[in-house]
Amino acid sequence: MSLWPELELVLPEVSKPARYIGGEGGMVEPEHHPSKVAWLLAYPDTYEIGLPNQGLQILYEILNERDDAVAERAYAPWVDMEAEMRAGGLPLFSVDTHRRAGDFDVLAFNLSAELVYTNLLNCIDLAGVPVRAENRADADLLIGAGGHCTYNPEPMADFVDFFVLGDGEEAVTEINAVVRDWKRAGKKSRQAVLRDLASVEGVYVPSLYDVVYDGPALVSITPRFADVPAVVEKRTVADLAAWPYPKNQLVPLTEVVHDRLNVEVFRGCTRGCRFCQAGMITRPVRERPAEQVRTMVADGLARSGYDEVALTSLSTADFSGIEEVVSATMDCGAGEVSVSLPSLRVDAFTVGLAAQIQRARRTGLTFAPEAGSWRMRQVINKLIDERDLYGAVESAFSQGWRRMKLYFLTGLPTETDVDTLAIGELARNCVELGRGHTKNPSVTVSLGGFVPKPFTPFQWFGQNTVAELQRKIFLLRDDIKRNRGVQMKWHDPKATLVEGIASRGDRRIGRVIEEVWRQGGTFQEWSEHFDYDRWTQAMARNGLSVDWYVHRHRTEDEILPWDHISAGLHKDFLWQDWRDALNEVGLEDCRWTPCYDCGACTGYSIEHIVASATPPAGGSQGTGQNPTAFQPQASVPVQLSGVGERASS
């Protein structure tokens, strides 16, 4: 039954009531039936952040196309709405038909950032379900989670009944079948359905595993039953062409982030940036056929009314035939459609592509060199040489852009002050190049703190302390503050530390997350709500050392909390890549070189699906040569640029 009559009374009292009303273009009002599994797909952040999430929209469509499932959506209520809901006894509800969460069978979350973990607990609590899995009754909602953060599920293991690792398109159908049979049999035993879920490939049920510690060290995580897998393998969809979703992207009634048509052009990335978890865990590369991209763009524009399309992936310029697809996209709207290409590499973008993009309005420019010095870029395997970077910057200025953002990480392995100050030098040189084309060129340095992530070669690295990150940030700030045209923004190092606690934490960190939540610590990714002291005090109260979890370098033989999870990557490949990083040795993209046997293809019998046997412009990386130095008088280069947003850190 709909809660709308009660919600209508509350909405005038809260900020942005449009967050809770639904009614988007593409929304489904599914017909619930006792024989169908009812899914509530939740994003544990605000509606504006959560609505565009493509993973959630894909599952929403796939489930609603089935005759044995229905799916609706929920987002974390903002603090004012939560207060009204708790005061009025209103539970978490769907935005589609405003049903209470308790009317569903599964509450499934997308987890894409560690700082939303407390929001997940809050949503479970608002749904009327015990936050700890062990306290749930047979018929309580099943709590599931997917998304990149689930590659280390342990910090959330006490709260989530089942995790789904990797691509969800095929797995969700198999999970639905298990829950459907359980529901039709009367939901008699929660234990039984969890055992059945554990037999679905890619599903991890943490309550079926024993965890053993020796003091602070983790000794083992092993299944308690013979039929439960000792290592849970991620799911990988081999053929993206079989999954042209979302077919009917949601068009919101209010402002949201990434408010445009999004068409995924490929999954996976083998550039091998050593800090980038997304690139490592989504291998191998699987391209969508260019013809299907064109159809999805044309149909999506016609259906949605959008005049902007983002061709999404982890490194869109690497898509075979990108120029033709962009050209066809621009033609769809008779010159009125703009194309954004998030996550472009500076060294893989051609003048032709830039010319296409400029046929419509200019979007902002963000380049992500990630590190200021060539030495540092060799360590992180982001082998962009200065010739390409300055070429891209100068081309952009020469073609009418006036402002750009340069994204960097600080706190990287082996980083020295020389590397930090090289960021300022690089930014100054970019402004200098801009002066040749415009009066007031502007470059914003955006500095993020580095958090080592599971399943990357940097998973063994001890993260910088808050004090060290702060010192480096101020060193750079002081270096560039008198340079006209250069601005600087940075991420709060204390938030970086908390991300670090959750990123590589084990199951004991769940107690900390619960304590922070119980003290009111929701929306921790929002600076006005982030509370560093709550986290450090909760660590201390639970007898857990920040130094042990965050700042300590790990050794090769250490048992890691995610060793019973497989992203397909061989651990010895990652260890060798870590040694190569310390030796400043780059590794070329395996799409166009012999295989390094990382495991991602061999383990799943899938090869890279790319249309072109030759790398795109700039794709042949890793020369090991010290690139050309800064030459502001150099002629306008052949290579251009990157547009859009940063992929990931």
Q: Are 64 and 28 in contact (CB under 8 A)?
A: yes
Q: How far is the CB of 202 from ligand SF4 (least distance, A)?
A: 19
Would you say 414 or 593 has its CB closer to ligand SF4? 593
> Which region among 378-386, 389-397, 551-559, 597-605 touches ligand SF4 (by CB under 6 A)?
597-605
Q: How far is the CB of 555 from ligand SF4 (least distance, A)?
A: 25
Residue 610 binds to ligand SF4 (criterion: CB under 6 A): no
Residue 601 binds to ligand SF4 (criterion: CB under 6 A): yes
Q: Which among 251, 245, 250 has a CA at the least distance from the CA of 263?
A: 245
Residue 597 binds to ligand SF4 (criterion: CB under 6 A): yes
* Strand 162-164 to 142-146 pairing: parallel
The single-letter DSSP state of residue 2 is B
Would you say 283 or 507 has its CB closer to ligand SF4? 283
Single residue of 271, 283, 507, 508 touching ligand SF4 by CB under 6 A? 283
Per-residue x/- mask for ligand SF4, residues 83 to 122, rule CB under 6 A? ----------------------------------------
> Which region among 476-484, 522-530, 589-597, 628-636 touches ligand SF4 (by CB under 6 A)?
589-597
Q: Which among 459, 453, 449, 465 has a CA at the least distance from the CA of 546?
A: 465
What's the half-sphere exposure (Cβ side, CA atoms, 13 Å) at 10? 21
Q: Which of residues 284-323 bind ligand SF4 (CB under 6 A)?
A: 284
Would you say 193 or 598 has its CB closer to ligand SF4? 598
Q: Which of residues 256-275 bind ligand SF4 (CB under 6 A)?
A: 270
Q: What three-state secondary structure class fits 481?
A: coil
Q: Which among 315, 319, 253, 270 has a CA at the least distance from the CA of 292?
A: 319
Would you say 271 or 382 has its CB closer to ligand SF4? 271
Question: How is residue 570 written in tokens?
Answer: 């061989």
* Strand 639-640 to 349-350 pairing: antiparallel
Q: In the beta sheet, which residues pair with residue 107?
A: 40, 143
Q: How far is the CB of 272 from ligand SF4 (least distance, A)?
A: 8
Distances (CA, A) of 578 to 263, 377, 414, 520, 649: 34, 14, 12, 39, 17
Would you say 284 or 424 has its CB closer to ligand SF4? 284
CB atoms within 10 A of CB 571: 14
Single residue of 149, 341, 581, 600 touching ligand SF4 by CB under 6 A? 600
At what angle are helices 117-126 and 79-88 packed, to 10 degrees? 20
Could you tell me the maximum CA-CA distance found in the chain, to the nearest angstrom? Answer: 76
Question: How is residue 430 written in tokens?
Answer: 């970019």
Q: Which among 412, 352, 347 has a CA at the least distance from the CA of 386?
A: 347
Residue 29 binds to ligand SF4 (criterion: CB under 6 A): no
Residue 123 binds to ligand SF4 (criterion: CB under 6 A): no
Would you say 344 or 598 has its CB closer to ligand SF4? 598
Single residue of 133, 164, 560, 598 touching ligand SF4 by CB under 6 A? 598
**What gap in Å lies between CA 341 and CA 363, rounded to an integer?**
10
Residue length, the chain? 649
Q: How far is the CB of 350 from ligand SF4 (least distance, A)?
A: 24
Would you say 94 or 381 has its CB closer to ligand SF4? 381
Q: How many residues bind ligand SF4 (CB under 6 A)?
A: 12
Binding region for ligand SF4 (CB under 6 A): 270, 283-284, 590, 595-602
